[in-house]
């Protein structure tokens, strides 16, 4: 039995919006990072869903790549955050505005 594509799309867009809301609204920078991961996974779900829908495995391979890249990215991001935390002694994103004018 196949799950209709629409269901999966609704799921992925819901996840995406939740992630976006988290990125925009959350004050804790760790949570913001996690929200970004949620958005990434929404995209991955889309890739897999369309891959199955068209019967083409390329999308699934891409999803694997995407997860791999995301892992690397999170590693880098966490390293940056760790250093940032050492300097600023905070995880509040509103406190971190080094790149302003």
Q: Considering the complex, what minimum distance in angstroms separates the CB of residue 17 from other proteins?
A: 10
Q: Considering the complex, what minimum distance in angstroms separates the CB of residue 25 from other proteins?
A: 8
Nearer to other proteins, 32 or 47 (CB): 32
Upper half-sphere CA count for residue 89 (Cβ side, 13 Å): 0
Helix boundaries (H) for 1-101: 5-25, 29-54, 58-88
Interface residues with other proteins (CB under 8 A)?
20, 23-25, 32, 93-94, 96-101
Nearer to other proteins, 71 or 80 (CB): 80
Nearer to other proteins, 1 or 99 (CB): 99
Identify which of 22, 25, 45 has the alpha carbon closest to the alpha carbon of residue 34. 22
Nearer to other proteins, 72 or 99 (CB): 99
Which distant-in-sequence residues (6+ apart) come within 8 Å of 21 by Cβ? 35
Q: Considering the complex, what minimum distance in angstroms separates the CB of residue 2 from other proteins?
A: 28
Q: Considering the complex, what minimum distance in angstroms separates the CB of residue 73 from other proteins?
A: 15
14 to 6, 50, 85, 101: CA distances (angstroms): 12, 17, 31, 35
């Amino acid at each position: 039995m196949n799950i209709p594509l629409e269901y999966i799309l609704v799921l992925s867009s819901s996840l995406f919006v939740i992630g976006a809301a988290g990125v925009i609204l959350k004050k804790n920078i760790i949570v913001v990072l996690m929200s970004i991961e949620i958005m990434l996974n929404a995209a991955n779900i889309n890739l897999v869903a369309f891959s199955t829908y068209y019967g083409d495995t390329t999308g699934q391979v891409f999803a694997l790549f995407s997860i791999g890249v995301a892992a690397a990215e999170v590693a880098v991001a966490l390293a940056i955050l760790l250093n940032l935390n050492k300097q600023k002694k905070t995880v509040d994103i509103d406190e971190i505005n080094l790149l302003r004018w």
